[in-house]
Structure formats: structure tokens, C-alpha cells
Amino acid sequence: MTDNEIHYPDEFADRLEILWGEGFLSPGGVAEVEAVLKGIDLANKLVLDIGCGTGGAVLAIAREHGAGHVTGIDVEPQLIDRAQRRISDAGVADRVDLQLVEPGPLNFQNDAFDVVFSKDSIVHIPDKDEIFREIFRVLRPGGVVAASDWLVSESADASPEWVRFCEYGYLSFAVATAHETETVMSHAGFEQISTVDRNAWYAATIAQEVEQLEGPLRARVLEVVDKNVYEDWMDVRRALRDAVGAGALRPTHVRGYKPDR
């Protein structure tokens, strides 16, 4: 995110958690955290979560993966507050540190973390070169960045579905292609870079999400927002479904390693 504007007020976070589960502001929940981290041993490791939101991934990393310590950062205070309550209630506060930060360089020393994780937050950061240089800097030699992010196809700008979604001005997306992401990571110094396209998974998932929001979840959403907000949000969700279904918006797992030397 580029400024101090609030993008995820409480009522919006409430809606997203109704859709995606407590602690999650993007799709897939704990299962998607597991998929992003597949094959990475986090036991006793020092982990940084960029864009920790309301704390679902931080909690999974600390509790299910046995990380030695997790530092979660976000730019919105109300999200940090919600995450802090969740971490305290779960009894893992002794292994978790949540920090409200300003957009820009990471406020950590060189070689501070074994693993840097992020779940669908880098899309909000316009300067991809800087964020991946910073991630590389704070990783220890041999460390890994493992993230999911919202990427786009090479031909997204020619997609009517993508253009229509963008017209809604939904959040503050600064999207890149998989090739652009790999290039930026390579320039930052990462090796063994890989991307795993998740478009097919989310195309099926978001179709179900829209059906749920139109049906059984509608009443729950209307408990936190009025009908006009609900209808406007549904227009956005349907446009997102169409952009994903057309192949323009492509959720992707990204991974890269800092050389061990």
C-alpha cells in the first residue's frame, strides 16, 4: 500500500472473514498457507509475514508449523489490533510479534529472518523492485521467500473482463505478470525462482464464493453492512469472478532462495 488510507475498515474485514474464514482477508485460508509453504520446514525458524492482516496466517505459521518466532507486519492499525486479539486468544503471543509499519523499506536488520512469507499482499506494493530487494536483504543466506500474490496474464489489458474489474477501482492493486515478478526477483539476487499458477483453482473457487454470497452467506453479510453496500460488493465479486475466469487475473505462488554464501 502506498499511503495511510484505510483500505480494510472493520466492516470490510468482517465481510472478508465471513467469506474466507476468521483471520483471512484473501482466499484459501489455512489450506492455502499450507500450499504456499509446502516442503519448507519452519520448525524453530524466524519468520516474517508481510501484510499479516487479521492474523490467520501468522497463527497457522506459529501453531501448525512450529515456527520459533513470527513477526507480522501491516500498515493498517485496525488490522494489527484484530490480529493481536486473535494471537492472544490462541496462546501463542510469546512467539509472535505484530508491528504496525509505514510503507517503504523494511525496518529490520540484514539477515534477520530464515523465511519471509506473504499472502496476497505484495499486490498492494507498487515498487516491486524495492520490496524484493528488501526481502532479499532481511533474509539470511539460504533463506527463502514463499508468497502468494495476485498476478495478471501478459494479455490482461486486452481482456474486457479485466478492464471492467479495474473500473471498479477495487482496493489499490499494483499488478505484475509472472515473468515480471521472476525478473524482479532475479535482479534482487534470488535463485531457484519458481511460480505456480493457481488460476484454475481460484476460477472454480470464486464461482462457488459468488454462489455462497448470493445464497447462504447473504444474510450474514447483511448483518454487518446495508443492502446497498452488499449489492455494490457483489458487483465487484462478480467482476472479479469474470476476470479470473477469463484468465486475466491469475493468483500465483512465488518462491525464491537467497544464495547460501
Taking Cα atoms as reference points, which of 105, 136, 117 lies closest to residue 49?
Answer: 117
Q: Considering just the CA atoms, what is the radius of gyration of the chain in Å?
A: 18
What pLDDT is stored for residue 172 in this prediction? 76
pLDDT at position 181 is 98
The CATH number fitting domain 10-158+169-203+247-257, selected from 3.40.50.1370, 3.40.50.150, 3.40.220.10, 3.40.190.10: 3.40.50.150
What residues does each domain of the chain span?
A: 10-158+169-203+247-257
- In our burial notation (b when 16+ CB lie closer than 10 A, e otherwise), range 22-46 reads ebbbbbbbbebbeebbeeeebeebb
Tell which residue, 227, 225, 191, has the closest CA to residue 18.
225
pLDDT at 5: 74
C-beta of residue 128 within 8 angstroms of C-beta of residue 176: yes
Q: Do 137 and 107 meet the contact criterion of CB atoms below 8 Å apart?
A: no
pLDDT per residue as tens digits for the range 117-151: 999 999 999 999 999 999 999 999 999 999 999 99
Whole-model pTM: value is 0.95
Write the pLDDT tens digit of every residue in 89-100: 999 999 999 999
Q: What is the per-residue pLDDT for 4?
A: 58
pLDDT under 50 in the chain at which residues?
Answer: 1-3
Please state the separation of Cα 63 from the chain's center in Å: 19
249-257 vs 139-152, strand pairing mode: antiparallel
Distance between CA 260 and CA 234 in Å, rounded? 47
Predicted local confidence at residue 261, as pLDDT: 78
- Given this model, what pLDDT does residue 230 score? 98
| Residues in CB range of 230: below 8 A, 6 or more apart | 218, 221, 222
